[in-house]
């Protein structure tokens, strides 16, 4: 397995392509906007003007696009992946998307002779750059095992979660945990600031105790500095939380914290924050705090 088609060269995809090339894979890429991929093209990735050309005669095709409708488009639209890749190709969707959609791709792909895996990732842009992503894989176990060397080029914590759609369910559970943790970080920093604590000293004090978290490590300093540049877009986090809430509701599971964080983020998106990083959730607390102060 040497020739890889890769569709979706965004914040995450760009670094994943780099790591695949470092591991000796031949990367063939497609992106809607070629200019966004110029850096990896200059480093050796082969750009194709169409999805059909990108996926022809590849050993595996990896997709990591934005939203479920994008996944539908790249797999099912006429002349795209399912119509153009050779039977026997491994099709790996690494987008965070609907478990039902992952099952649909698996069923249709299997009928057409493909090996289909859903393999969403977590670890953010830092994990993508460093090749330390956690990769959560659903599908047939033998297909997972066949693709392990490919996953090892991009990540370090790689696990088989179960049948098709299981990778997506694991990722949605991950996003539920992030929602609670990130909101906790924002609330704690809001409280510390209100009570006159030095934010940097506060963060240093709690980082290695029971309240320490990856979200605090990644975003605490950025929040204090007012740095809301995206490592992971707010709009994509909203998409993930909505998917998780839909799945939870289908199972009759009440996730109150997730519902509240989603509502907060949607409010921020309505105010134009969708293109900021997830740490911009702090803006909700800043605004709430200012509003409360005016009332007093």
171 classed as catalytic: yes
- Euclidean distance between CA atoms 1 and 13, whole angstroms: 19
Q: What b/e string do you get for 88-117 counting C-beta neighbours within 10 Å, with b at 16 or more?
A: ebbbbbbbbbbbebbbbbbeebbeeebbbb
Q: Could you tell me the CA-to-CA distances from 257 to 242, 270, 271 in Å, in that order?
A: 13, 20, 22
* Cα dihedral sign, 276-45-92-80: positive
Q: Are strands 133-139 and 115-118 parallel, antiparallel or unpaired?
A: antiparallel
Catalytic: which of 104, 171, 239, 283? Answer: 171
- The torsion angle over the Cα atoms of residues 240, 116, 150 and 6, rounded to 10 degrees, is -70
Encoded tokens for 222: 């950025």
- Euclidean distance between CA atoms 257 and 177, whole angstroms: 10
DSSP state letter for 233? B
Q: Which residues are catalytic?
A: 171
């Amino acid at each position: 397995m040497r020739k890889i088609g890769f569709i979706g060269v965004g914040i995450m995809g760009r670094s994943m392509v780099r790591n695949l090339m470092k591991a000796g894979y031949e990367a063939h890429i497609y992106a809607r906007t070629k200019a966004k991929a110029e850096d990896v093209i200059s480093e050796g990735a082969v750009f194709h003007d169409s999805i059909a050309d990108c996926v022809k005669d590849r050993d595996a095709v990896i997709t990591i696009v934005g939203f479920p409708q994008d996944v539908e488009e790249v797999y099912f639209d006429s002349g795209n992946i399912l119509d153009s890749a050779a039977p026997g190709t491994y099709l790996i969707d690494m987008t965070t998307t609907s478990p039902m959609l992952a099952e649909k791709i698996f069923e249709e792909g299997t009928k057409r002779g493909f090996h289909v895996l859903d393999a969403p990732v977590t670890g953010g842009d830092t994990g993508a750059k460093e090749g330390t992503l956690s990769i959560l894989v659903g599908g047939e176990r033998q297909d997972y095992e066949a693709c392990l060397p490919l996953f090892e080029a991009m990540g370090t914590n790689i696990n088989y979660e179960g049948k098709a759609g299981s990778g997506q369910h694991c990722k949605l559970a991950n996003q539920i945990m992030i929602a609670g943790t990130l909101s906790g970080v924002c609330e704690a920093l809001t409280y510390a600031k209100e009570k006159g604590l030095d934010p940097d000293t506060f963060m240093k004090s709690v980082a290695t105790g029971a309240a320490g978290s990856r979200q605090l490590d990644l975003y605490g300093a950025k929040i204090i500095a007012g740095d809301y540049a995206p490592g992971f877009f707010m709009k994509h986090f909203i998409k993930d939380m909505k998917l998780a809430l839909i799945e939870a509701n289908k199972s009759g599971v009440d996730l109150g914290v997730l519902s509240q964080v989603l509502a907060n983020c949607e409010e921020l998106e309505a105010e134009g924050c969708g293109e900021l990083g997830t740490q911009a959730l702090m803006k909700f607390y800043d605004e709430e705090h200012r509003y409360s102060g005016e009332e007093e």
